[in-house]
Amino acid sequence: MKRNLFFCLLGLVGLSACESDGSSGEGRTPVSVKMTDAPGKYDAVHLNVGEVEILTANGRTSIDVDDNRPFDILAFSMGKDTLLATDLVASGKLQEVRLVLDDEGNTVTVDGVTYPLETPSGQSSGVKIKVQEELVPNVAYTLLLDFDVATSITTTGNGKYVLKPVVRAIPNAVSGVIKGIVLPVIAAPKIYAVIGTDERIGAVTDVDGKFYFPGIADGTYTILIEAENSLYADKTIDNVVVENGVATDLGTIELSLL
């Protein structure tokens, strides 16, 4: 199906960034794109989203919307939202998001009568946003697109309805990271992040003794370090605080000989 309308949400670049491409391999960040709405005067506003593009300083990712069916954006107001797409994107400073609508399936219902929403071919509308935070590798983010239906739809003199999207983007980190180094490497440590009585996440070190827990929910954890080499003592680190969007670095942890 032909896609004929896109609108950009800009961070620190201009509209020309929509045409660039490239990646420097600086890591990947899991991103979920959701959409919400401010209440409007219409009975229903159906949008048919076909694709989401996310541009960071390190590359562009195009995500097809799997459930490519029109949905009523008015059903997702007052704190409700709907998931459009999720994927791994190039980490780095968020610069632009582009939401691409298909040319069919976009409608507005007024007083029980449904009208097609005209989406002029090739039209783009940019809404600048300030995004101060970076997309950190392995830290999950939710990007909430706030669609202002009240100002996005206009009428023409002959009774037609035209879609001129007014959208703002709200990035929100929904997880954090715990990382560090355990030495000596010959201790062959296993590391566990424990919260509560049941939740226990495990990791092992690499050849340099580094460990990394991505996608950790915010909270206070206990870190258990268990040495498989029986010559070394285990170690416990209490009260490790994880915050969304933050990589908590425990530094270098030395295990003692028994």
Return the residue matching tokens 């994880």: 242
Q: In whole angstroms, what is the distance from residue 140 CA to residue 119 CA?
A: 33
Mean pLDDT within 57-72: 83
Q: In whole angstroms, what is the distance from residue 242 CA to residue 258 CA?
A: 31
Greatest alpha-carbon span in the chain? 86
Q: In whole angstroms, what is the distance from residue 54 CA to residue 20 CA?
A: 12
More confident residue, 234 or 156: 234
With pLDDT > 70 as the criterion, what percentage of the chain qualifies? 81
What are the tens digits of pLDDT across the range 134-167? 788 888 888 888 787 877 888 888 888 988 877 7
What are the tens digits of pLDDT across the range 155-214? 888 888 988 877 777 777 778 889 999 999 999 999 999 988 767 888 888 889 998 887
Report the topology of domain 176-254: Immunoglobulin-like (2.60.40)
Q: Extract the tokens encoding 249.
A: 């670095």
| Three-state secondary structure call for residue 123 | strand
Q: Which of 50, 81, 47, 45 is nearest to 64 (CA)?
A: 50
| Cβ contacts of 132 within 8 Å, gap of 6 or more | none
pLDDT at 120: 63
